[in-house]
Amino acid sequence: TNHRNVVKFFGCCLQTQVPLLVFEFISGGTLSDHLLLLAGEGVSPLSFEDRLRIATEVAKALSYLHTEASITIFHRDIKSSNILLDERNTAKLADFGASRAVSIEQTSIATAVQGTFGYLDPEYHQTGRLTEKSDVYSFGVILAELLTGQLAIPRRENNVVRHPVMDFLAALKENSLFKVLDPLVLQEGSREAVERIARLVEKCLKLSGNDRPSMREVEDELEAVRSNKTKADDTMASGKTSTRGIRTGQHSFGRQFPNDDGTDFSNTGTMSNLGGTTASSEAAGTSSTMQYSVEMELSLLGEMPR
């Protein structure tokens, strides 16, 4: 492929005992390295603007693979360690070892389940049918990682399996998103931008693939968030009133935040519609629209091969 956000494949060498594939070298490490500050000495945290741009670039790459490439490709192993960053922190989607190519007429393919636990689409895990929406689910996990600064791989704490994505969804439902957001996101992200991205995460992580957006729709939403952010930044630069919550003494992530002088101020509202499904919609909903539950996560954890 010739997409700027997909690692370029140059060729292969068949004159060795084990055939070699040759790809372009990307020097900046992986997205997971940067989230954990492991890419090297002196690495600084990714700014909120960088995180939003990286998310948009990965969405563009996946949208291209799903709808614009000469043959449709489902990546099947979208995760932060498969997103490389160059010296300018431009995102490059890599590692197509698990990917599957399908004809234009196909919308799904039956295949042995493959992927990385924590990023794996639960519907694909249960049915063995891979679709473009499987990549959408995995991308939603990455969006959650960018907001929380925590990798999505389940970990055991005090004999309890913790899943950062499940914690994110729970906080979303309880209107306490501030508890799981990266402090840098709280500091740099506007209320509107964070709110829209959090809603997008929720949509991408729907249990049923039919309820998830396409990658093109995800790309369009992220572009809209970036466009609004640029307009807001231009407004700030022109000296007009800032809409950035913390800087103006106002934020809406469910608690009081201190002003620059250390005093507290009251919220001007709550994270509207960020509490997940309402009680009335839960009563009317079906299992196909349920969020991926913690119980299901633990069940799948026990079923995954070691």
Active-site residues, by number, are: 77
Return the closest-CA partner of residue 118 out of 180, 50, 168. 168
Residue pair 204/213 in contact (Cβ under 8 Å)? The answer is yes
Name the token pair of 14: 């068949």
Kindly list the distances between the CA atom of residue 97 and the CA atoms of 20, 21, 73, 78, in Å, as whole numbers in the listed order: 13, 11, 12, 11
Name the token pair of 180: 């799981």
> Is 42 buried (19+), middle (13-18) or exposed (0-12) by CB count in 10 A?
exposed
For 142, residues 6+ apart whose C-beta sits below 8 A from its C-beta are: 31, 55, 58, 78, 79, 80, 83, 119, 152
Tokens 């925590």 map to which residue? 150
